[in-house]
Amino acid sequence: MSRRVRRKVAKKGNEKVVVPSFPEIEDEVSCSYSNKAVDWTSLPDDTVIQLFSCLNYRDRASLSSTCRTWRALGVSPCLWSSLDLRAHKCDAAMAASLASRCVNLQKLRFRGAESADAIIHLQDRNLREISGDYCRKITDATLSVIAARHELLESLQLGPDFCERISSDAIKAIAFCCPQLRKLLLSGIRDVSADAINALAKHCPNLFDIGFLDCLNVDEVALGNVVSVCFLSVAGTSNIKWEMIHLWHKLPNLIGLDVSRTNIPPTAVSGLLSSCHRLKVLCALNCSVLEADTTFNANMCKGKLLISLFTDIFKGLASLFAVTTNSRKGKNVFLDWRNSKNKDKNFDDIMTWLEWILSHTLLRTAESNPQGLDDFWLKQGAPLLLILMQSSQEDVQERAATGLATFVVIDDENASIDCGRAEAVMRDGGIRLLLDLARSWREGLQSEAAKAIANLSVNANVAKAVAEEGGINVLAGLARSMNRLVAEEAAGGLWNLSVGEEHKGSIAEAGGVKALVDLIFKWSSGGDGVLERAAGALANLAADDKCSMEVALAGGVHALVMLARNCKFEGVQEQAARALANLAAHGDSNTNNAAVGREAGALEALVQLTRSPHEGVRQEAAGALWNLSFDDRNREAIAAAGGVEALVALAQACSNASPGLQERAAGALWGLSVSEANSIAIGREGGVAPLIALARSEAEDVHETAAGALWNLAFNPGNALRIVEEGGVPALVHLCSSSVSKMARFMAALALAYMFDGRMDEFGLMGTSTESTSKSVSLDGARRMALKHIEAFVLTFSDQQTFAIAAASSAPASLTQLTERARIPEAGHLRCSGAEIGRFVTMLRNPSSTLKTCAAFALLQFTIPGGRHAMHHASLMQNAGATRVVRAAAAAATAPLEAKIFARIVLRNLEHHQMEPSIGRLSNLA
């Protein structure tokens, strides 16, 4: 996920503190400014209760336990008229501990079957409203007991997920036990029988709002018997016999009907609009059969509103209710209704119901993501969701926020979103609305708003708006929540925002790094979602040098290694490995590379992750080992932990894998092979053949890492012979002549030069090691092919006429020009050992003019001023007394012109590093 957002820095330190004006506590406030102690227990009772009401249930209970006075106030009935248990594991013991507070509980929200079983222990006989989520495992028995214990129940909602284990028997039990029932909304019932519906009609005379949503079968004939119903929804329900719904025409009180996401035909819609005399609103959103009829007249019945994909919803509402709202402002109809001083109960009921069913249908439609709705979402869907976020109904607000989080997503697996939809939300003020919800004390709203902010922030422009509106501070605050769901979504938001370079510093300044590390320790078990998001955000932050140090200081190394060692969830493993890779990528500027290697079990865990069945985990683990191998001690420790065997096996298995995995597998072997002992071990383990196969990859990045590994391996004559025997010469020749990457061509040329500088010949005469069987090869033919392509490669960086002019001139400017022509910028990042530098110096004396030129060209690259390791290489040359050999090569009468010019540039480079007298005194090389 990549975003670019302008940093927003929160003011600190000199802000003016604004204290609310409460006359009864002015003395206490003034004390705070005079550095006197404040006795918070002396606050008036009503003030304390008001403060408690702004806290979530956990904080409310914790604060009430601080003293005897607040303990008594903390159980005040007004603080416990409603209870939201969705974010908590509610079992019988927890319910029993809450029972004393819940005597006068009126409204309860829960999540899952375990919480449903525990409800009966609350002893809340006066409960009026129950709403449950994640009800797939709730059984008839549980629901029947709930109904029997709460005979005063007026509202029961279970959904929006499917209630697969609830049958008509439970619905009959509800009807018998809850005669005061006014609202019943159930989702995903397999079969709602006539007996169940008739029981509701008979025993629940006040039932005015019924919703059987996403059910398989509903007896449509029996629904015509519920004469009390004013609002009916069968949205998403299958197998309705539409020819039988003429009985609904006789329902005397039916005002609103929702048939969204069904296969209702145009004839049925026409019949309902014309025959249901009291019907005001018919909602038929996302009904494919209806929408396919281009001849249907949506304006056939005046005074009735049809809500569909092809109607103007805002205009229809404004025209239908213009007399009541005095509004002709289209999208403002909901706001005008909420702000209206002249309330009409019938109209209020309609609008309240509309908010509920629209939020539900829009969310369900967004989840299914049908094709062809782009225009609807941009013009009506997004504005509707933003308006619904301002509802007074908390569940409507939540679903609207979830709808915004959902409708922008095109591909959840790859975090792809529709930029047009995301920016439509931003243009209509959606970011500020979402941040306002995220600042709510209600944890359900915090969670869903944070989820929407996270998804929308995948778009760069929206991410910028989030930062400018203070969203980073809000998300960093939510990441500290004790509610796992809130913390998880906040961490997801920081994950998306943290990729933008402008965001990283702001996240660190807001305390986000510490909050993310703390999340890993807090939810180290049982929180795969929050762990993956926290590790992903830390991985992005660790890519920045300064932030990587913040991660380490906050304990991030230990936290991430703990995840890599202990977590079994592949998403967490992948992000933890990526974070460790990024932490280890700043070896030249901080000590995190070494710190990761010193952390107990880190290297062993990463080696083990290279064997994961999940490609993303293998890729990131190999990348981490690659970066860590730049530290000498890490390199040997990786090998000791079985890294050579594991990485050779990985290279052998990834011939058909993604280029990313191939690059990192070869790169890790490249890093390990810097050590000659490791290089020999890689050869003996069979690492040569898979690297040759990777060298034939079509991906440029894989060319570079495979060529780099083969270059290191070829330093050893035994490996060099293995490369020849395994058919590596044609592969390297192809890279040397054809790769798009100059760096890959350069290293392929160096590998070939190592192989044919004479040492392999000596090794071949003595015979290969007992672990390897020599194959019949023509070294002479391979040598001729290699030297031919080495020469061709080096000559691409020269020009005979220009070189001849430079040879005749002693002007430094000419050498500067030639240096720029010959320079391979990436080669400046290579770090060679003294043995490697010595081998190139020795190669300057080789009888082969091609190898002389190649050696001079290589030393030129390694000593160019500005290269990361140029001073190191120059020092090695000075210590080895190489200056005399280079000077001799530059002055040799029989040496190729290119070799002499390249050697002369090397001398100039050494002079720049203050290790050689001025080359201006050198004789003319012509």
pLDDT at 559: 97
783 and 834 belong to one structural domain? no
Indicate whether 647 pLDDT > 50: yes
Q: Considering 464, 492, 509, which residue would you say is the last residue of a domain?
A: 464
Task: Give the CATH number for residue 676.
Answer: 1.25.10.10
805 and 756 belong to one structural domain? no
Lowest-confidence pick of 337-351, 418-432, 579-593: 337-351
Closest CA to 573 of 506, 620, 639, 538: 620
The band of 806, judged by pLDDT with boundaries at 50, 70 and 90, is: low
Q: How many domains is the chain partitioned into structurally?
A: 3
Indicate the pairing of strand 409-411 with strand 416-417.
Answer: antiparallel
828 and 739 belong to one structural domain? no
Q: Which residues pair with 131 in a beta bridge?
A: 109, 157
711 and 816 belong to one structural domain? no
Percentage of residues in the chain having pLDDT higher than 70: 90
pLDDT digits over 53-64, tens only?
777 667 777 777
Q: Give the list of residues 6+ apart from residue 411 with CB closer than 8 angstroms, or none.
A: none
Instruction: Read off the pLDDT of each residue in 407-412 and give the average, rounded to a whole number.
Output: 86
423 and 385 belong to one structural domain? yes
C-alpha–C-alpha distance, residues 250 and 245, integer Å: 10
The H or E element containing residue 196 is: helix 194-203
Domain span at residue 744 reads 665-762+778-793
Please report whether residue 134 resides in a domain.
Answer: no
Indicate whether 664 pLDDT > 80: yes
Please report whether residue 535 resides in a domain.
Answer: no
Residue 41 burial (C-beta neighbours within 10 Å; 0-12, 13-18, 19+): exposed
Pair of tokens at residue 176: 């018998």
Indicate whether 14 pLDDT > 70: no
The band of 52, judged by pLDDT with boundaries at 50, 70 and 90, is: confident
Please report whether residue 867 resides in a domain.
Answer: yes
Instruction: Read off the pLDDT of each residue in 433-460 and give the average, rounded to a whole number.
Output: 94
Instruction: Read off the pLDDT of each residue in 861-886 and give the average, rounded to a whole number.
Output: 91
pLDDT at 645: 97
Please report whether residue 215 resides in a domain.
Answer: no
The band of 809, judged by pLDDT with boundaries at 50, 70 and 90, is: low
Mean pLDDT of the chain: 87
Lowest-confidence pick of 4-8, 822-826, 897-901, 912-916: 4-8
Per-range mean pLDDT, top range of 29-33, 411-415, 680-684: 680-684
pLDDT at 439: 95
Lowest-confidence pick of 293-307, 657-671, 674-688: 293-307
pLDDT at 51: 77
787 and 844 belong to one structural domain? no
Task: Give the CATH number for residue 398.
Answer: 1.25.10
432 and 317 belong to one structural domain? yes
Per-range mean pLDDT, top range of 259-263, 440-444, 762-766: 259-263
336 and 356 belong to one structural domain? yes
pLDDT at 662: 97
335 and 436 belong to one structural domain? yes
Please report whether residue 360 resides in a domain.
Answer: yes
Indicate whether 6 pLDDT > 50: no
Instruction: Read off the pLDDT of each residue in 693-716 and give the average, rounded to a whole number.
Output: 94
pLDDT at 457: 95
786 and 894 belong to one structural domain? no
Indicate whether 491 pLDDT > 70: yes
869 and 725 belong to one structural domain? no
The reported pTM is 0.85
Please report whether residue 864 resides in a domain.
Answer: yes
pLDDT at 24: 33
- For CA atoms 739, 742, 746, 749, give the dihedral sign: positive
Indicate whether 771 pLDDT > 70: no
pLDDT at 322: 57
678 and 757 belong to one structural domain? yes
Instruction: Read off the pLDDT of each residue in 833-843 and give the average, rounded to a whole number.
Output: 92
The band of 21, judged by pLDDT with boundaries at 50, 70 and 90, is: very low
CA distances to 278, 564, 705 from 662, in Å: 68, 21, 9
pLDDT digits over 181-219, tens only?
999 999 999 999 999 999 999 999 999 999 999 999 999
Give the start-end residues of each E strand in 766-890.
Answer: none
pLDDT digits over 905-922, tens only?
999 999 888 754 443 333
Q: What are phi and psi of 410, to 5 degrees?
A: -95, -45
